[in-house]
Amino acid sequence: MVTTEICVFTLNEAVTKDLLLLPTGIHKSSLSTVLSQPGCQSIYWGLGIEDPKKLFWFIEWDSLSSHTRFQSLPSYPSFVASAATLTDPTAPTPISVLHYNLTPLSTLFPKSSPKPYLEYLNITTSSPPSLSTTLSSLAESLKTYGVTSTFALSIDEGKGDNAVSLVGWRDLPHHHAFWKTDAFKSTAPQMQALATAPLFFVHVDLLEWE
């Protein structure tokens, strides 16, 4: 089963979009290192629209074990140390890494399709089964609304109370229009009630997928 590793970086003030796109820069070099690993199938990455200091990597592995093998390499600590130079060390969480068995972005949004206005929602809950039911209901409503989405609970040990939802809107007005529907008005309060921490919500500008 394809496993998606989602890395969320909090960037330091010196890091710009141009720097991330620089072919000879640390960021592109880090992406190349990941892509060269056995079992890595693709990477989508982008910046938060509302918060451009949030960098997102969506890495698709053929299995969790492939990523685990990469992490066991002697070179892995230096890879992490290099990528970490992009982050703000004073942030509460300079880098977050979690794994999910959700529908891969490469399946939902192939390179031949228009780039989605991607909504990223992360929720920590006291009741994973209830949250899963709520997110499933939301996904069905989105489907009838003509919107592609996926969600999953984390498969990391001790992190099964964390869920992520990814939704591909056409643009911001398209998303705002959904807020007026009965489906959203019924599920949004349920998600809030099930959350044990503030919901982390941002739209992501996907800059490249490789």
Out of 45, 70, 100, a domain closes at: 100
Can you tell me the mean pLDDT for 22-48?
Answer: 97
Query: Considering its fold, how many domains does the chain have in total?
Result: 2
Can you tell me the mean pLDDT for 173-186?
Answer: 94
Model confidence at 209, in pLDDT bands (50, 70, 90)? low
Spatial separation of the C-alpha atoms in residues 176 and 155, rounded to whole Å: 31
> Do 75 and 121 have their domain in common?
no
> Do 201 and 127 have their domain in common?
yes
How wide is the angle at C-alpha 44 spanned by C-alphas 72 and 191, nearest 5°?
95
pLDDT digits over 119-151, tens only? 999 999 999 999 999 999 999 999 999 999 999
Can you tell me the mean pLDDT for 193-210?
Answer: 91
Model confidence at 184, in pLDDT bands (50, 70, 90)? very high
Distances, alpha carbon 71 to alpha carbons 7, 74, 93, 104, 117, in Å = 14, 8, 20, 21, 31
Out of 76, 100, 124, a domain closes at: 100
Out of 44, 77, 100, a domain closes at: 100
How wide is the angle at C-alpha 120 spanned by C-alphas 85 and 115, nearest 5°?
95
Residue numbers of the domain that contains 149: 105-209
Look up the CATH number of the domain holding residue 75. Answer: 3.30.70.100
> Do 48 and 123 have their domain in common?
no
> Do 109 and 21 have their domain in common?
no
